[in-house]
Amino acid sequence: MTTKETMHTNSILIVDDEKAARYGMKKILQRDHGSIFEATNGIDVLQKIHTLQPALIFLDINMPQLDGLKTLEKIREMKHPPLVVIVTAHGSEKIAVEAMKKGAYDYIAKPYEMEELRIITRNALEKIALQEENTRLRMEIGMLEGYGELLGQSKIMQEVFDRIEKVVTADVTVLLQGESGSGKELAAHEIHRRSKRKNGPFIVMNCAAVPETLIESELFGHERGSFTGATERRMGKFEMANNGTILLDEIGDMSLSTQSKLLRVLQEQKFERLGGTETLAVDVRIISATHRDLEEEIEEGRFREDLYYRINVVNIKIPPLRKRKEDIPLLVNRFIQHFSKKHYKNVVSISNDAMKKLSAYNWPGNIRQLKNTIESAIVLTNNDVLDISDLSEDIIREEKTPDSTKNVHYHLSFREAKKILIENFEKDFISKKLEECGGNISHTAEALDMHRQNLQQKIKDLQLNKDIKE
């Protein structure tokens, strides 16, 4: 498998079934780039990636056996895929855009200008060099345990960090989904902090916290006299976020009428202040976040489907804490250091028994609840090591059973509490059926009256650790 340590940083692989096309591109590039290789089709390139380890691939769309799009998909499945520039015929930009959604870095249409090809190549290789330098620096300063303020050593969080890393340099809209308190705002801040907009403003708009009568004014601003109490002109969040990033937190709680106005801003990057006639243009990256299932909201008529596709160019799901319990010790120790210093206490660690209790708890309030629990314990303790007696009664009393959630989730919304209960039921029920069927997927799907593919997805989502037999 290609790795960033062994990848040839400046090597290029040209993939085209036409010899003349390969020759022409190679002739243009070889003056500035020495290591240039050729492949004749999709199957050929997949074999050569492992031996040549190119940093950059120019991939023709129209090829026999395995076309460019299917080849791109297979390349993107690799652990550390090289950058891919799609080569397409003039007038096929629609296909090229589809390829970029599938992970291509850029595209170039035939016939191309020599300078255009050189610029794309130079930019791609500079991006690769920068990524490798960032990886080296992160390893040197021990950043593998987290991603800025977003911490986690678990496999599921490393996948989240990897996905964030891929979108920081791509100026696209991002949808962050996850339960309340799981770290969506931290993820949004990291995307902004590492992006080319990092020197611009980062503006947060909590769509659930603003009354419906004021949300339009909050987003787009208002002119003096536009409504009762509007005594002066006021800038909205979009205007404040110009040349930066805006986080629309809890966008799933936004009304349909406001959604329609927001859609225009996403499409045109233009709007008018409430009560105004001047059209304002802004350059803003939009990140949205929600704890709601937006596809379900669309089905129930509470969220616009066209807006959903606009904000969901890249989707990042932040897992709940109960799905990454191996991260709890890391988070606990980090919070102990932070709050011990903040409150001038001398708490240096936590007992094994207390850590076991924290690791066994389901954390319906996620990281926010864990953070508050540790802060409370540090404020109230008289010891330098936190123990079980320093923890709250809810955590001490919790038993590890599927029914334990019935008594500890009343502070959540109905939808969130229901989701946790259903998830626990599904995990327990499917797990037992798998055991009854000896881990055989097909037999279990038949017993559950489910499609085999749906069951496989459920097993993956619920992280069932069973001896699965395909």
- Domain segments of the chain as ranges: 8-137, 170-317, 321-398, 404-462
Phi, psi (rounded to 5 degrees) for 434? -60, -40
3-state SS assignment for residue 232: coil
Given the structure tokens 């008594």, which residue do they identify?
407
pLDDT at 4: 40
Q: Quick: pLDDT tens for 271-299.
A: 888 888 888 999 999 999 999 999 999 99
Residues in CB range of 149: below 8 A, 6 or more apart: 186, 189, 190
pTM to 2 decimal places: 0.57
pLDDT score for 178: 93
Question: In the chain, what are the helix, strand and coil shares in percent, each to the nearest 5?
Answer: 50, 15, 35
Residue 278: exposure state from Cβ atoms within 10 A (0-12, 13-18, ≥19): exposed
For strands 146-147 and 150-151, give the pairing.
antiparallel
Collect the ranges in the chain with pLDDT lower than 70.
1-9, 133-148, 398-416, 465-470
Q: Give dist(CA 61, CA 42) in Å, integer.
A: 10
The reply to whether CATH 3.40.50.2300 applies to domain 8-137 is yes
DSSP bridge partners of 89: 110
Q: Considering the domain 170-317, what is its CATH architecture?
A: 3-Layer(aba) Sandwich (3.40)
Q: Return the pLDDT at 413.
A: 65
Q: What integer pLDDT is reported at residue 140 of this predicted model? A: 46
What local confidence, expressed as pLDDT, does residue 195 receive? 92
Nearest to 154 by CA among 328, 377, 407: 328
Q: Domain 404-462 carries which CATH code? A: 1.10.10
CATH assignment, 321-398: 1.10.8.60
Domains 8-137 and 170-317 share a fold: yes
What is the pLDDT at residue 407?
Answer: 46
Q: What is the pLDDT of residue 358?
A: 94
